[in-house]
Amino acid sequence: MPKLFMKAKLRRRIGALLFAVVGLSAGCSHAAEDAAEDVVGRMGTYRTTYDDTLHEVARRFGLGFVELLAANPGVDPWLPGNGTVITLPTAHLLPDGPREGLVINLAEMRLYYFPAPGKPPETYPVGIGREGRTTPIGKTRILRKATAPTWYPTKSIRAERPELPAVVPPGPDNPLGEFALYLDWPAYLIHGTNKPWGIGRRASSGCIRMYPEDIDGLFERLPIGTPVVVLRQPVKLGWIEGELFIEVHPSESQADQLETTGRFKGGSDDFGDAVAKVRTAAGSQANRLDFSAIRRAVREKRGYPVRITRSGLPGSRASTVPSIHGSGLFIDYFCCESWNAR
């Protein structure tokens, strides 16, 4: 495996270890559950070189293409420039769902793996179904596993691409990559890919794609029968050290706009729905909500956690909360990691 991606895997493991250490030592909780369990990873920055592209930076740091675009509006994905500081959205609030097996949030194009109780969760970017071939939502499980899988294109795929053979054997031309997890949904898989630039994009025929190095690390650890939940949550909420955070992702159409134009329209249409969810999550702490921060997060949809409670009020922990820099769109949690090209 290339050294570049071995380093990326090591960085992800360090992030998981930090999650475990902080989770054990934080010792604070809110009415629902322990606050340290609502987030995994930590934010980072990276200073580009003249020949970097955002596709390369995304893979290097375990990110998807669209989520890196959303976190860095205005940066040219093909020529970001020498010395450009890139925000790495490598902190994630956990989805509102079961914390076991695999949970896939289509809205952020990200998979969450929950190992045995007491072990920190892990998260990986994924590619999902494109328009007209969307990945289904619901509960399923891993039905079987295959190394060096053979691909049998469905009739509908061959109708779109009549040049495809009926059977594609293992090898570099096989879009399933080296590992495949077959779900208890006919024709839907979680698999590797021979087109890693499709990770973090709506580019598949409905299957869930992973970077080759990511599924390589997960494959042996996932037994047959592992539960899988696929959901769509563009707005996530979570507590960190007694403060409420929101993480907002672009809609499917906005994600497509980001890919093609680098920007999207309609950023604040769902403000009312978000506020309703925020009030429910805040509970007795609703008097501490910062509605200007909520509106900004919903409008800009940067895809990483932003604090939306105000400190210095009853119930806050101002001395220990993450700091928010600039316009409130970048959090420094568990110490922000900075990386330079090597």
Report the catalytic residues: 191, 207
Alpha helices in 90-249 (DSSP H): 155-160, 212-219
Q: How far apart are CA 210 and CA 177, in angstroms?
A: 9
C-alpha count within 13 angstroms, C-beta hemisphere, residue 289: 19
Burial of 231 (0-12, 13-18, 19+ CB in 10 A): middle
CB atoms within 10 A of CB 114: 19
Helix (H) or strand (E) holding 7: helix 3-25
Burial of 39 (0-12, 13-18, 19+ CB in 10 A): buried
Phi and psi angles of residue 228, each rounded to the nearest 5 degrees, phi first = -130, 125
CB atoms within 10 A of CB 153: 18
Could you tell me the two tokens for 276? Answer: 């309703």
Q: Are 109 and 200 in contact (CB under 8 A)?
A: yes
Q: Are 64 and 196 in contact (CB under 8 A)?
A: no
